[in-house]
Amino acid sequence: MSHPHDSRRAQARCPICRRPAVAAHAPFCSATCRDRDLLAWLEGRYVLPGPPAADAADRDA
């Protein structure tokens, strides 16, 4: 028997703490790391850096 995909599929690791990932929480090792990643993603979304609106108005006038 041969499983061509097996050799390509390396042990996935948690991007947060680098421990071996668990299928139930893939690609993370635990719900804790999954939540941490989600929170970081949400914070990045909510923070919207940009130039001050007053600057654009000043240039227009």
Q: Which residue type, as a one-letter code, is found at position 2?
A: S
Helix (H, G, I), strand (E, B) or coil at 20: strand
Does 21 interact with Zn ion (rule: CB under 5 A)?
Answer: no
- Smallest gap from Cβ 40 to Zn ion, in A, equals 13
- Spell out, one character per residue from 28 to 57, where the chain touches Zn ion: x when CB under 5 A holds, - when not: -x---x------------------------
Helix (H, G, I), strand (E, B) or coil at 13: strand
Report the residue number, 24 or 55, with the smaller CB distance to Zn ion. Answer: 24
Please confirm whether the linkage preceding 49 is cis (ω < 30° from 0). no
Residues in contact with Zn ion, total (CB under 5 A)? Answer: 5
